[in-house]
Amino acid sequence: MCLGIPAKVIEIKEDNTGKVDYLGTKIKVNFSLIDDIKVGDYVILHAGFAISKLDEKEVEETLSLLKDFIENK
Amino acid sequence: MIVESFRNKEFIEAILKKIQEKIKKIGFSPKIMEVCGTHTMTIHKFGLRKLLKDSGIEMLSGPGCPVCVTPNEIVEASIDLLSNHRNLILATFGDMTRVPTKKGSLLTSIPAEGSFKKIVYSPEECLNIAKENRDKEVVFLGAGFETTIPSIAFTIIRAFKEKIYNFSLLSALWLIPPPLQAIVKSEEININGFLYPGHVSTIIGKKPYEFIANEYKIPGTITGFEPVDILLGINDILDQILESNPLVTIQYKRAVRPEGNPKAMNMIYEVFEKKDANWRGLGLIPQSGLKLKEELSQFDAERKFNLKIKSQSKDLRGCRCGDVLKGKISPPECPSFGKTCSPESPRGPCMVSFEGACLAYYKYGY
Ligand code: SF4
């Protein structure tokens, strides 16, 4: 089952494991599959691993496209 | 905060309106396959299947549920292991334990002396279990696509490095592009567009789907799991149909990069190699599954326990999961649906798994 909702990174340890906040719950996660991760980033989780980092710039772009849609309705 | 925007009613209505205008221009009712089981769930949960149908679009569910596509012979092999082998811990993801076969399910089977089953959330948990139970064998029945496979590859590498030799993998690992090729090649159904899976694509990127646009001229887009994502994806496919320009676009740009996740891909092929594999419903598909490389074969449960997994096992009588997975029938067309098959007493994995199309139809209506 894919978890569509991103989780916020709250702790990264030296061995590349750490914790995320997923809908208010703290979960242990392995960050070994992605690079350049820092506390405060949003990640996509799957089976105990972070598999992708969320690009917040892209979120903004999609939202502005959606706003265009509404204005040109 | 992100989630709310992607479930916003105003946005949904605005995109739906665009979709309806485009359908009028197209002049026929396109059939669009949502490949991923989690897409199927979103589409049902938010009532999109009906909204889209009323707008002139038929959504078909695809093969994107790993528990569903795993043929019964693999589940039966795990049941045999658990009930015949002493001091063995059979670990797997939750819904795998409820898949019914002619030998019952993992949940109902009686373990041999000193053996038991264990539900895990991450494959890595198996290593701790193995370390704490050195006198037992720990077998992980791993069902998954490219989304899950890197985490299993990582686990195998750790087992190798840390010499955890009482751990092994019973592989039910599937690659997504080959069954899509099998579906378009078979021409059993005419598909006008694909919603490609969001999280498989975070790993494999867009390139592995390009043959579908180039050779088969079928439009497609990689999309996310919120209702707005699904509708934006469909809107994109309709644009491609209108412009007669089939492509693989990425609508889910916030999570998917065109190149995927090369680090995870390298990890997969450090540990596994491709093999021909037998899928439920779709049959034998060349180079569509994975097995451990020769040098890691000590972690291969099939070899370790000399399992003879033959592709002979059939679905339970009256179950048409195979046809559901190909998009050939929709779940309510199965004669057992809602009669002899329900989530409380499932006859097939499509009614068991949280990504199964039959469960989505049953739970949320259609
Ligand atoms: S409704 Fe039940 S019996 Fe029919 S295809 Fe789905 S899982 Fe199989």
Pocket test for ligand 1, best of B280, B314, B325, B351 (most atoms within 8 A of CB): B351
Locus of tokens 């097939």: B348
Task: Name which of A51, A1, A30, A45 is nearest B128 in CA terms.
Answer: A30
Domain identity same for B9 and B155: no
Residue B61 beta carbon below 6 angstroms from any ligand 1 atom: no
- Residue located via tokens 């979960």: A27
Q: Classify residue B310: in a domain, yes or no.
A: no
Residues facing residue B338 across a β-bridge: none
Same-domain check for residues B48 and B72: no
Total of domains in chain B = 3
Q: What is the mean pLDDT of each run of 10 residues along chain B (366 residues)?
A: 81 92 95 94 92 94 94 96 97 95 95 97 96 98 96 98 98 97 88 97 98 97 95 97 98 96 97 96 95 97 93 84 90 96 96 94 88
B-contacting residues of A 14-73, CB under 8 Å?
30, 32-35, 42, 44, 46-49, 51-52, 54-56, 58-59, 61-63, 66, 69-70, 73
Asked whether B32 and B57 are in contact (CB, 8 A), the reply is yes
Domain match, B149 and B285 both: yes
B132 and B106 in one domain? yes
Residue B346, domain extent: 323-364
Query: Which pLDDT score, from 0 to 100, does residue B1 have?
Result: 60
Judgement on whether residues B88 and B100 belong to the same structural domain of the protein: yes
Q: What is the DSSP string of B254-298?
A: TT--TT--HHHHHHHHHHEEEEEEEETTTEEEEEEEEEE-GGGGG
Q: Which of B250, B274, B294 is the last residue of a domain?
A: B250
What pTM value is reported for the model? Answer: 0.94
Residue with tokens 């994502």: B229
Residues B21 and B110 in one domain: no
The Cα B288–Cα B293 span in angstroms is 15
Tell me: do B55 and B200 sit in the same domain: yes
- Domain of B229, CATH number, reads 3.40.50.11750
Nearest atom in ligand 1 to the alpha carbon of residue B329 is 5
Give the separation between CA B168 and CA B159, rounded to whole angstroms: 9
- Residue B192 CA to residue B217 CA, distance in Å, equals 9
- The residues pairing with B34 across neighbouring beta strands, listed in sequence order, are B61, B195
The answer to whether the beta carbons of residues B182 and B63 sit under 8 Å apart is no
The verdict on residue B202 lying in a domain is yes
d(CA B11, CA B5): 8
Q: For B4-38, what is each residue's pLDDT tens digit?
A: 888 888 899 999 999 999 999 999 999 999 999 99
B316 assigned to some structural domain: no
Domains of chain A: 7-71 (2.30.30.140)
**Residue range B228-246, pLDDT digits in tens:** 999 999 999 999 999 999 9
Report CA(B103)–ligand 1 centroid distance (Å). Answer: 18
Look over chain A and give the mean of its residue pLDDT values, rounded to a whole number: 91
Residue B204 neighbours by CB distance under 10 Å:
26
The answer on B268 and B348 residing in a single domain is no
In a domain, B215, yes or no: yes
Of the residues B250, B269, B294, which one is the last residue of a structural domain? B250
Nearest CA to ligand 1 atom 3: B319
pLDDT in tens, B248-264: 999 999 999 999 999 99
Residues of B in contact with A44 (CB under 8 A): 199, 202, 255
- Residues 6+ away with beta carbon under 8 Å from B4: none
What's the CATH code of the domain at B136?
Answer: 3.40.50.11740
Q: Are residues B246 and B280 in the same domain?
A: no
Instruction: Please tell me the distance from the alpha carbon of residue B189 to that of residue B32, in angstroms, as a whole number.
Output: 11
Q: Are residues B200 and B286 in the same domain?
A: no
